[in-house]
Structure 1
Amino acid sequence: MGNVAQQIIDSLAASGVQRIYGVPGDSLNGITDAIRTNDSITWSHVRHEEAAAFAAAAEAELSGRLAVCAGSCGPGNMHLINGLYDAARTRVPVLAIAAQIPSDEIGSGYFQETHPQELFRECSVYAELVSDPAQMPRMLRTAMQAAIARRGVAVLVIPGDVALKDADSSTLAAAFAPAPRVLPSESELRELAGELNAAGRVTILAGAGAAGAHDEVIALADRLAAPIVHALRGKEHLEWENPFDVGMTGLLGFASGYRAMEAAQTLLVLGSDFPYRQFYPEHARVLQVDLRGEQLGRRAQLNLGVVGDVKETASALLPLLREGRDRGHLEDATRHYAKTRRKLDELARPAKDGKPLHPQHVAARIDAHAAEDAVFIPDVGSPVVYAARYLTMNGRRSLLGSFIHGSMANALPHAIGAASLNPGRQVVTLSGDGGLTMLLGELFTLVQSKLPVKVVVFNNSSLNFVELEMKAAGFVTFGTGLENPDLAAVARAAGLAVLPRQVRYVFGGAA
């Protein structure tokens, strides 16, 4: 029958899990030994548990399936927390196995004692302690289902001694991944159509909730004669083959997206939780479609909000909308976008001889040379700006990042998960020098796990975006300088291939 740890690993394998990211430790010995004897699941050893959680988050986002990470008791699983917060805010299904101290020592102030079920409560949809073998596999099944159904983090806390006890039964947990259709009621659809039919200038703001709904949103924009502004997480899903695209708004956006929203008499928000309230139009009527009812009206005062999947709702709404709308607003917005786009592209020109390359130019060249199905992963900070403005999506490329949690150092560990999931797919990081050096040890993970990630470092010897924020707020820049080593030499010492010096990109004079 085996022990509880073997039951957990066999259940995860039966649920389609292929790997577990983590760092081993004595309280995890039962789990890692069960992985050693299982042919379906591999142990993906990283150098820091934070990277394990980020890697699992990236795998879950790209695959849409449950991904798993693990940490040993006390400080081991505590290190997971930043990556788990990122997974929670991105709303991807991740299971974290948090090992605990011996069960008979809990509450005694024992060596490395923490209470993970409390520690992870805020960033999880489920966090519970397994204290008896009889609780398995039901608790594991409940944890997996919570992560999948609620698209979030589930944490299973298990003391090392409980993991080594004989399993109470031979039953395996199996997770289900339901795919329901979610539509507003008929009366809500008619009310929404009535609002749109009576509207003058309509602009669409679409986000990650529009994933898989590209054609339906395009058809809706065509019928409404509406320009489409995309949030950053909507870029991947809506930017390509879109004659209605007018770019982004917000802190990372540009004038055309802001203007298209500001000029709207009605704003239709589709699957977006765009957080910056100051960028919403002040006088427009706001209509919102979101799969999660709790999102409705969170960012702007609504005239109407409905719960529904964007793809299903757009399809059901289209036949109810009148045709023959005036297209002046759309044409004005797309002309302004073309003008704005030309100005942005002018910034991506090559530098003069002997001068450091412009980062915009580097981003544009990455875009030009990357594979048609590349996964791009920018670090939080200025690399996100360059990714948002100069990477082009085509329906096959992916763009990942810590776009909601906003954590430094996400690019390299996210890349570990992306490359582990798809070994043959090109994965490219746009790493900042601050972000890279924060989790520098994960370069060794790339080598050890033989992951062919392309790491591009924007090395300006500073926390550049923090400096920009300081200047914008009227502060003198302070505490943002970085004295970096020769990062190419570090990478070469780690065992990575490095471009020859004459073609290596240089920023701000720092090699």
Structure 2
Amino acid sequence: MQTVSEVIVDTLVKAGAKRCYGIVGDTINHFTSAVRTSDLEWVHVRHEEVGAFAAGGESYLTGELSVCAGTAGPGSLHFINGIFESHRNGAPVLLIASRIDRAEQGFGYPQDVDQQRLYEQCSVFCETLTHPEQARRMISQAAQAALNRRGVAVVQISGDIFKEKSNDVLPWSVHRPVWIARPSDSELDTLAKKINQAKNITIYGGIGCRFAHDETVKLAQHLAAPIAHTTRSKEFLEYDNPCNVGMNGILGNPAGYRAIMTCDLLLCLGTDFAYTQFYPEKATIIQIDSEAPHLGRRTPLDMGLVGHVGATIEALLPRLKARTNSTFLDDLRTRYAKDLKEMEGRGKEPDPSLIHPQFVAQTLDKLANDDAVFTADGGSPMVWLLRHLRANGKRSFLTSLSHGTMANAYPQGLGMAKAYPGRQVIAMCGDGGMTMLMGDLLTLVQEKIPLKVLVFNNHSLGFVEMEQRIEGLLDSYTGLHNPDFGRVAEACGITGTSVESADQLEESMQTWLAAEGPALLSVQVNRVELVMPPEVTAQQISSTALFGLKAILSGRGDEVVDLLRDNFLR
């Protein structure tokens, strides 16, 4: 007869889990003891939030189940931000959130927390295991929900239950059916009629195109339609795509923006892009998504259809007339080529002492492996990844686009590197994000994880600083007093290097990438850097001018000169 802990671990392993991230202690000691004698690897992190990020990074990349486990009260609570991030990324993670012993619950006992109300808002499954006979059945259901609904499952377990015996002999297991959905024939006929009557068609591809690159490109070529993509689908639609015109949104480029705004029919494929100001006001808009609740929640639709992108395109194509007039596509492709040239130009270094972050990202793009995995912190590192790293069908990218958190990059990279020890995994970190969870640099050493960490060191919360200035405000409380990150890394037992001159960057980056084991490269980058949107509005110009006036009046005129020089006069 097995203990509940042994049953849980056995069920997780059979569900495909390979690793469990967490910190050991009181209410999960019997569980971690069962892990120790199993095939499930325990990854000992220094902060539970890092464990949740790491598990989410692993599961996002592999599509397989990963596990976190935390002690009662603060231990399980520390996972919350990383769990939100993983859930919104669609990563199948299972969290074992332990509670105090049942006999003490409800009496204000130390560390007693009602986790149900916290985790039910960031999970596809959130239940409490209350009896030993539920162990295999509930863990199987939780894993099944996480894997099939692509999100986080949470199981709460009181510490005293872990050591009890389970008499359940029923063979509960995890099922992963493969299913395909597409709209009905009548819906496809109506959709085809609308497409055949339209003049200028743009395809807007999202994360739902993850497994439908070839079908999406085939549809675009058949319709002579440009493909604009969301930030999350860069990895899946940018490469080998003669119809690609780039990204839409605040981080996008003019061609991608114009493709959306100037079409008369917008075909949204697997996208739930959140920002309503980046949808056209007059075009016919049709959305196809595998999740019916996603239809029409971002912008009003003319048609909303449920289906997987690849299967829907295959059923739709025979109903569509092929188009030979490619003027709309050709014009946008010409604009896209100009966009790429302009973005490349923003990384040029006329002054070796002034390192632009774009130049750092472009150098990384050139030197990184063709199948490298990249993560980036929310904020400006995310921008440099999206704009300056090239997708090629082999590289993988993960940024915090749905949750928008700081400090996600190297913790997610930690889990990705554990999952794929043979691949080059690179985390692009802001100095704010790095210092928020810096303690887990020690995890890289202790667990021998060969992650490559790149720190964009501009001594500020740069993205926040830019937001404040664009709103016409003087930037406030954004400055950071940072250590020498290279020396900090060395103190932790990691190969560490700091670069302050553009002349040193390429050689230092080559050495950093070639280092055995974990390595950190800190680059002193320009602080006064704007992230230019695809379309600059009059309001943004006037607000930025207001910042300039306030800066001059407050004795900070040198910053205005730097802003003009580094962003507009080059």
Letter in 1 for 2:474: V
Separation (CA, whole Å) in 2 of partners of 1:383 and 1:375? 15
Deviation at 1:232, TM superposition (A): 0.6
**Superposed CA RMSD:** 1.4
Q: Does 1:507 pair with 2:506?
A: no
The aligned counterpart of 2:386 is 388
Secondary structure of the corresponding residue to residue 273 of structure 1:
coil
Structure 1 pair 413–171 and aligned structure 2 pair: CA distance change class (3 A): farther
Residues 229-278 of structure 1: CA deviation (Å, up to 9, x unaligned): 11011100000011111111111112111111111000000011111110
**Contact kept in structure 2, 1:12 and 1:174, CA below 8 Å:** no
Question: Equivalent residue of 2:55, what SS?
Answer: helix
Structure 1 equivalent of residue 22 of structure 2: 22
Which letter does structure 1 place at the counterpart of 2:17?
V
1:23–1:46 Cα contact (<8 Å) kept = yes
Q: Which residue of 2 aligns with 1:71?
A: 70
Where does residue 95 of structure 1 map in the other structure?
94
Amino acid at match of 2:229: H
Partner of 1:308: 307
Q: Which moved more, 1:198-207 or 1:146-155?
A: 146-155
Question: Contact 2:15–2:143 (CA<8 Å) still a contact in 1?
Answer: no
Task: Tell me if structure 2 keeps the 8 A contact 1:140–1:173.
Answer: no
Q: Residue 491 of structure 1: CA displacement?
A: 0.6
Q: Which moved more, 1:358-367 or 1:161-170?
A: 161-170
| Cα deviation, residue 212, structure 1 | 1.3
CA 183–139 in structure 1, closer or farther in 2 if over 3 Å, else same: same
Aligned to 2:152: 153
Within 2, Cα distance between the matches of 1:118 and 1:127? 9
Q: CA deviation at 1:170?
A: 4.3
TM-score w.r.t. the length of structure 1 is: 0.97
Task: Give the secondary-structure state (helix, strand or coil) at the position aligned to 1:380.
Answer: coil
How do 1:171-250 and structure 2 match up within 5 A? 171=170, 173-250=172-249
Q: CA deviation at 1:474?
A: 1.4
User: What residue is the counterpart of 1:110 in the other structure?
Assistant: 109
SS of structure 2 residue aligned to 1:247:
strand
Identity fraction in percent: 46
Q: Is the 8 A contact 1:461 1:482 kept in 2?
A: yes
Q: Give the conservation status (yes or no) of the 8 Å contact 1:351–1:358.
A: no
Partner SS, residue 369 of structure 2: coil
Q: Contact 1:491–1:498 at 8 Å: present in 2 too?
A: yes
The whole-number CA distance in structure 2 between the counterparts of 1:488 and 1:498 is 4
Structure 2 distance, partners of 1:277, 1:169, is 51
Tell whether the 8 Å contact from 1:182 to 1:308 is kept in structure 2 after alignment: yes
Residue 445 of structure 2 corresponds to which residue in structure 1?
A: 447
Cα deviation for residue 210 of structure 1 reads: 0.2
CA distance in 2, matches of 1:117, 1:137: 20
Q: What is the distance in 2 between the residues matched to 1:99 and 1:472?
A: 45
Following TM superposition, by how much is the alpha carbon of 1:146 offset from its aligned partner in structure 2, in angstroms? 1.5
Gaps of 5+ in 2: 509-522, 529-570
In structure 1, the residue corresponding to 2:455 is in which secondary structure? strand
What are the Cα deviations for residues 173-195 of structure 1, in whole angstroms up to 9, with x where unaligned?
42222220111111111111111
> What's the TM-score, normalizing by structure 2?
0.87
- Matching residue within 403, 417, 420 for 1:419: 417
User: 1:290 maps to what in 2?
Assistant: 289
Note the residue ranges of structure 1 that are not aligned, 5 or more in a row.
Answer: none
Q: Retained in 2: the 8 A contact 1:356–1:509?
A: no
Q: Distance in 2 between matches of 1:345 and 1:372?
A: 19
Cα drift, residue 128 of structure 1 = 1.2
1:28–1:99 CA contact under 8 A, matched in 2: yes
Q: Distance in 2 between matches of 1:14 and 1:206?
A: 35
Pick closer, same or farther for the CA change 1:362–1:48 going to 2, 3 Å.
same
Q: Which residue of 2 aligns with 1:490?
A: 488
**Where does 1:372-411 land on structure 2 (aligned, <5 Å)?**
372-411=370-409
One-letter identity of the residue aligned with 1:398: S
Work out whether 1:435 is the aligned partner of 2:433.
yes
d(CA) in 2 for partners of 1:249, 1:42: 41
Deviation, structure 1 residue 300? 1.1
Q: Taking structure 1 as reference, are residues 509 and 387 closer, same or farther at Cα in structure 2, changes over 3 Å only?
A: closer
What's 2:328 paired with?
A: 329
The amino acid across from 1:379 in the alignment is D
Structure 1 counterpart of 2:389, which letter? L
- Equivalents in 1 of 2:470, 2:275: separation in Å? 17
CA contact (8 A) 1:229 1:249 kept: yes
Deviation of the 1:160 alpha carbon: 1.0
Match of 1:368 in 2: 366
Q: Is the 8 A contact 1:267 1:285 kept in 2?
A: yes
Give the counterpart of 2:464 among 463, 466, 479.
Answer: 466
The match for 1:9 is 9
Quick one: distance in 1 between partners of 2:349 and 2:169? 64
8 Å CA contact 1:7–1:170 kept in 2: the answer is: no
TM superposition shift of 1:499: 3.5
3-state SS, counterpart of residue 438 of structure 2: coil
Aligned 8 A contact 1:10 1:172 in 2: no
In the alignment, the residues of structure 1 paired with residue 226 and residue 278 of structure 2 have an alpha-carbon distance, to the nearest angstrom, of: 16
1:340 maps to 2:339:
yes
Q: How has the CA–CA distance of structure 1 residues 171 and 45 changed in structure 2, closer, same or farther, with 3 Å as cutoff?
A: farther
**AA paired with 1:444?**
L
